[in-house]
Amino acid sequence: MFKRVKKNWNMLWPLLALTVVAVIIFLERMGVAENFLKGDQEIAQNERTRPTIEIPDTVLFVSRRESNSADFASEMEQILSDMRQSYEIVYVEDVEKEDFREQIAQYHKAVICFTDLDMMGEQISVLSDWVKQGGCMMNMATFDVCSNLQVIAGKMGILEGADSYGSVGGFYVDEEFMIGAKNRQFAYDDVYQSSLNVLLDQDCQTYVYAMDSDLPLLWEYDYGKGRFVIMNQTMTGKSARGILSAAYSLLDDISVYPVINASAFYLDDFPAPVPSGNGKYIKQEYGMDISNFYTNVWWEDILDWEDKYGIVHTGMIIEDYSDIVEEPFTRTESTERFRFFGNMLLNHGGELGFHGYNHMPLCLENFDYKGLYDGYTLWKSTEDMEKAITELGEFSSEIFPEQKFTVYVPPSNILSQEGRKALKESMPGIRAIASTYLPGDCVYEQEYGIGEDGLIETPRITSGAIMDDYTYLIAFSELNYHYVQSHFMHPDDVLDEDRGAALGWKKMHENLDQYLSYIYTAAPDIQNVTGSGMADAVENYAGLSIHRTEVENGIRFDLGGFYEKAYLMVRIAQPQEGRMLTVVGGTCEPLTGSLYLLTATQSHVEITYE
């Protein structure tokens, strides 16, 4: 028998549901059940449909001996968890010949999380027979040239080239396969030999190509009753999730998984005191001082983008730019700028949240900035943090008494665990933290979801106005993975050479406008939301589970954790002309090719394709 690590997150939901019911009964007895509500929507937790259990139908084959295998598996685990796919992990070293055929038969899909197929030994033939009988297999990264690859290459649709590598400097994607792919290439910083230099069978369906050689990087090939989906490129990290999730979706005839469906824009340090910095580029370009530039140029451009693209902005308040980290925390007396910009933002449908009393991240003296933030002062105690946060709340509420402050953005995206606890303790109205999706030194890196303390994780994905190739790659990936876009910028980007000031605001404006055009061409109907709207969308997404049942020419599924409406991505594998998509329990809108956005209006949905 081989050893398995079972990963079925849906099985946690019954325990969670029982816990919630017990809490509600307790609250009812205490006479306070009516306050057990979901934020501003005031939805009782027990009004949601209960999540359901799904038996794992995917196996991840992992190797203890191959150094990258654990990283590949970890990335795939996150992808499958986000797609609400139950799975199990099998270590290839534990596979025993007499058990393998019987054990793999219980799964419908397999993902190979290593590159050297020789580690499977003679079981490679069992694996290919399983595919031939109806199994579906994909891999995470380019295969090594090895004996077992030669054995199975033809069954994967490879005619030639399984013995050498070709150079790749970037890629492009079939525009019918993923949104945001039209007229877009994604370049790498370096050209390197990373893909098998293959010639494919004409029956292969290729979706991703090397941009400089048209080398196939992702294709699918039917073998018997089953299917191979082959990644001929080692793509890792969060920017690869869009393509990896799209590849996995090809393993089913109809694939369904939840998405967020939200686009948000944050203005950090806004409103705030007039930022200090080098205004020489503003003076050269516009002949203005910093204050007049923000009022007469920058802010007008922000409003123009709102009119042009329908976006709304969430401003993150900084009360003071001091480095004070011990009480007393002096109240800022000059509020004219706060009132002018803050009320303008609110009057245009925007929202205000908290960035900090000052721009000192909430980190105690035991926090290591690794020499990267020498200008920041560490806090002496959690009590000082809490008092500074309280001062910010009182200051903001005095100026904007009608505004509910529910979103917090950490300065420089840095937040310690002590700081998070201080934030929650001193500002109970905060529902969401919007830090960063991408890793970096010292930053608080997030996944979309809900933390153990109940705070909603709503990471921002892109930032600034330079908009390089990687910015477009990660934006493209997340549109296709979570169907989400989240961008932030600072008013003082135009003062900081590291953030593009030397380009001048006209060029920075052009860069941002091109990015916005890209987003809303790729996803014209994505929901524009504020920071709290993003929190609502992530909360609804995070609470969903899916129980899938195949039906003739389609799929039936039940949504656990459903309330009023949910959004899901649907991919129809190998669609044919003249076939009609029918949906009961929701509506489907085409995104591109075989990809649809499903709006579920009931917890029970059925999709047929005839």
* Rounded Cα distance, 231 and 223, in Å: 16
3-class DSSP assignment, residue 104: helix
Looking at every residue in the chain, the average pLDDT score rounds to: 90
pLDDT in tens, 89-145: 999 998 887 889 999 999 999 999 999 999 999 999 999 999 999 999 999 999 999
Q: What are the distances in angstroms from CA 598 to CA 249, 522, 568, 581?
A: 15, 17, 5, 11
Instruction: Give percent above pLDDT 90 in the chain.
Output: 84
* Rounded Cα distance, 314 and 432, in Å: 13
pLDDT in tens, 398-420: 999 999 999 999 999 999 999 99
Per-residue pLDDT band for 31 (boundaries 50, 70, 90) equals very low
Count other Cβ atoms within 10 Å, centred on residue 140. Answer: 28
- In 3D space, the residue among 173, 236, 107 whose CA is nearest the CA of residue 476 turns out to be 173
- In 3D space, the residue among 388, 305, 304, 395 whose CA is nearest the CA of residue 342 turns out to be 395
- In 3D space, the residue among 209, 239, 223 whose CA is nearest the CA of residue 127 turns out to be 223
Residue 22 contacts residue 50 (beta carbons within 8 Å): no
DSSP 497: G
Cis peptide leading into residue 401 (ω within 30°): no
* Rounded Cα distance, 509 and 291, in Å: 18
Per-residue pLDDT band for 277 (boundaries 50, 70, 90) equals low
Residue 260 contacts residue 448 (beta carbons within 8 Å): yes
DSSP 298: I
Comparing 43 with 282, the larger pLDDT belongs to 282
With residue 262 as reference, give the H or E element that holds it: strand 262-267
